[in-house]
Structure 1
């Protein structure tokens, strides 16, 4: 019962019961821009259906429950037998199941598949982020396995299935499978060449016994894993890629000893484990000594998902902030109409739009086979978009004031999640150095980048000046490694600017170029030039409920 003084007023309704896809004007425009017109109607219908599910109270509750009830490790059964199983809350299975049936692992088998999947990923990631890890790795495992055609023939139809088939059974008995990976070791971290896990060849052709430890093994209840180890063929100990099935074809459990689950800052619904291999059966993927090469395409795909995941977190945070301010009154009027709050919201909306626009451009490049462009654009986007995610989410949380700081708002979960993508698949320095390598060793990649930003040449003098400054910076390669972050940031910004100048409304492009390239640039959000159409930018980002 409520006390006589407990009257609830001036509180916004929940941002629920809406279409997450259709309410995102920027995402809808990107899909319409990049997708073959013949595919548009079907794609819009699919994405709107997923968007309504993502915006439903039921799906939002699944996300809350999955995060509030982290997975639990069971190393042994009641009799003392080693089982190494991870139990998940039912809400986690519902989220993963919906992701699989919505095609988040099936991009490889239909036209425009990467773009359509990217848009769906961005929509569904706004419900809860932790369950997307196995979906991302399952999607990304396909190009790696294609280095070994006989394995791809067996596994790819199940990897790209739209049927979620949970439980540990031989892959041949399942309608769909999920994949994880085990690359990182405690002594090496991002330096996978420090790997010490050994692979001893067995009698069967291509079969090996693996022995070693993995410091981070993602999604340990998956059906298969891609693992790096040093093969002993010929005594060279070359770094190779291996497929480790969780369950062998005869139904026995492969030796896959889960030592513990990581207690993480965020991403709590997802199980990240330390695992031991003790003569664990595996098949080599690709040629011996080409382990890193076999994983290049997989890493590129998961890095794209880092960009998409961060863009999704930004979008949801900004949507929540604008929704709150559109209902909350203070100092005689709605917060959204206050000039200073409007400036903050518009600045956040610009960052979100730039991230979404760049992410979908990368997905379209995958469909078009623009490998040279992706070689620079993916690590640059991964570096910058994931770096911008945490300050965007933190500022959006502040827009809700104390209401945003309590768990019920969902904003703390977004904030805890926000640093993850800048760390996963190579932290900031790794991405910046990868950009440098492409600039120095792959002239065709730099040419593709120049062609892309050249499409906006002459459209905005501030963007043109930023491109000129970047080229000047690249003309001096002395001490270039120490400047790698600065260069990578500028590459990402001119990419975003060129896309917004070409495709966004004039007010959005003007505001971005003025604040990101102009001389009147503040260090915090909410410092846009006051002469811009801030209200129009905010209205463009408002979720239509």
Structure 2
């Protein structure tokens, strides 16, 4: 009997397929040049092609086949190792080799931080889970450079070589770094940490006993941790392997069963006479680790911006190829409003992130840029990361049910989307940090106001919103209103960045976010918005 044909497949978009994430992203190309990374354009362009092709393909299995904890070998010896899918190692090899973790330190010239930021943004679109160890490895270097004796660790990052072997750091071709800050009883309140660091004879070595509730990337070669030394909370470097090859005295208790971020391992650990070396002064652990926080917060911004960009690309691809009610979805007026609004949001997120990357890049040479970076990372980290989950959900809705099944990339992006707003300090932590900067650090407030003033006169909606914001900044700030203030600061900064860049999305952003206030939903732009040009720009 011939099988009965019930239907033919029609009106289904083709596979998303490999694409060049650099050539499709006009906002990224312009931002790299504008913020000082033009000398590295060929490096970033090459990674954009690789991330949207080879790495995006590898990421599917790396994400689906989650890391596995092996506490013991077959003979019963403690090994505390984590096994990853081979694709994970291939992705890490490509990323580290291209400089996603080490470019800033391998080529420490003007524009290096901006260019590495662009690489991080591209990488997050392809495989966000591996961005965790890449970010921590990159951000650990300024902390390590505080101690001349740890120069070899910084050099291991700058080598831009991935070496997954579980051997002592001195035997590695390149190094990766993780961290362990939070404990069960404290979370973000790291001053409540109970892990004890007991000095050993000689001065800088300590024995650790205690635990960490979140211990990120446990297969890294070393970890920055906070513990209570006799002089107070102190930062220490804990190697995974001791110089003689023995496993250090920490035990992996379990891997976190996370909502998303599946390709990356996060763990709970206990210290059992673990050996670590002090970084910075005793009792100055938080001040020491702040050298890392600005960089990790910037990467949270870049990660969320990258997530938005990939979700938008998925939605645009589907809407180009899917017909409904007699025409392509991308030609439907209400869908065009949604897509244009998403395009504006994504470019604003990238623009501010890259502007902050320039401030970070210039910080060692320019005190005003350092002061701006100090406050702008917290502002941007709060707002951009907070916008990502709703953004990805809207992109899912563009695909309908197809965006909710695992054959689509969007469920993975949706699970990933909340992470950056939680990691490196939740929204409340960021907003309270902004209040501290504004009230206690005159240089940060002055740098912020100067940045906003540069865009005055470029747009009437911007000017009116800035006048209202200046009144709010002049008042004393109640903690309960911190989120409302930081939201306004973030929108004004995004608008200032877009206006100064001459971005084609700037006027729409100012009208829809500053004049009318941010809408509770995407797709509520005014009817005279230039939908076609906004969508065309986003489509590349």
TM-score > 0.5 by shorter chain: yes
Q: How does 1:66-81 map to 2 (within 5 A)?
A: 66-81=62-77
Distance 1:189 1:21 in 2: 38
* C-alpha spacing 1:393/1:281, structure 2 compared with 1 (3 Å): same
In the alignment, does 2:361 pair up with 1:364?
A: no
Deviation at 1:158? 0.2
Which stretches in structure 2 are left out of the alignment for 5+ residues? 364-368
* C-alpha spacing 1:158/1:3, structure 2 compared with 1 (3 Å): farther
Distance 1:125 1:346 in 2: 22
Instruction: Identify the residue that residue 186 of structure 1 maps to in structure 2.
Output: 184
Distance 2:31 2:5 in 1: 51
Deviation at 1:521? 5.8
Q: How does 1:320-331 map to 2 (within 5 A)?
A: 320-331=314-325
CA-to-aligned-CA distance 1:416-459 (integer Å, 9 cap, x gap): 00000000000000000000000011011111111111111011
8 Å Cα contact 1:105/1:161 also seen in 2? no
Distance 2:224 2:517 in 1: 48
RMSD: 1.4
Instruction: Identify the residue that residue 268 of structure 1 maps to in structure 2.
Output: 262
* C-alpha spacing 1:524/1:81, structure 2 compared with 1 (3 Å): same
Deviation at 1:150? 1.4
Distance 1:263 1:461 in 2: 49
512, 526, 531: which one aligns with 2:528: 531
TM-score when normalising by structure 1: 0.95
TM-score when normalising by structure 2: 0.96
Deviation at 1:128? 1.4
8 Å Cα contact 1:514/1:521 also seen in 2? no
Distance 2:179 2:397 in 1: 36
CA-to-aligned-CA distance 1:291-313 (integer Å, 9 cap, x gap): 00111010110000000000000
8 Å Cα contact 1:521/1:528 also seen in 2? no
* C-alpha spacing 1:150/1:487, structure 2 compared with 1 (3 Å): same
Deviation at 1:399? 0.2
Secondary structure of 1:299's match? helix
* C-alpha spacing 1:309/1:529, structure 2 compared with 1 (3 Å): same
In the alignment, does 2:18 pair up with 1:17?
A: yes
Instruction: Identify the residue that residue 27 of structure 2 maps to in structure 1.
Output: 26
Instruction: Identify the residue that residue 400 of structure 2 maps to in structure 1.
Output: 401
Instruction: Identify the residue that residue 135 of structure 1 maps to in structure 2.
Output: 134
Runs of 4+ in 1 over 4 A off after TM superposition: none
Distance 2:18 2:424 in 1: 34
* C-alpha spacing 1:309/1:344, structure 2 compared with 1 (3 Å): same
CA-to-aligned-CA distance 1:77-115 (integer Å, 9 cap, x gap): 111111110000101111111110010121123222111
* C-alpha spacing 1:303/1:2, structure 2 compared with 1 (3 Å): farther
Q: How does 1:404-423 map to 2 (within 5 A)?
A: 404-423=403-422
Q: How many residues align?
A: 531
CA-to-aligned-CA distance 1:221-257 (integer Å, 9 cap, x gap): 000000000112xxx4x00000000001111111120
Distance 1:253 1:512 in 2: 53
CA-to-aligned-CA distance 1:175-203 (integer Å, 9 cap, x gap): 10100000000000000000100001111
* C-alpha spacing 1:293/1:45, structure 2 compared with 1 (3 Å): same
* C-alpha spacing 1:304/1:399, structure 2 compared with 1 (3 Å): same
Instruction: Identify the residue that residue 346 of structure 1 maps to in structure 2.
Output: 340
Distance 2:67 2:112 in 1: 31
Secondary structure of 2:506's match? helix
Instruction: Identify the residue that residue 502 of structure 1 maps to in structure 2.
Output: 500
Deviation at 1:396? 0.5
Instruction: Identify the residue that residue 462 of structure 1 maps to in structure 2.
Output: 461
8 Å Cα contact 2:233/2:285 also seen in 1? yes
8 Å Cα contact 1:215/1:273 also seen in 2? yes
In the alignment, does 2:165 pair up with 1:171?
A: no
Instruction: Identify the residue that residue 446 of structure 1 maps to in structure 2.
Output: 445
Instruction: Identify the residue that residue 434 of structure 1 maps to in structure 2.
Output: 433
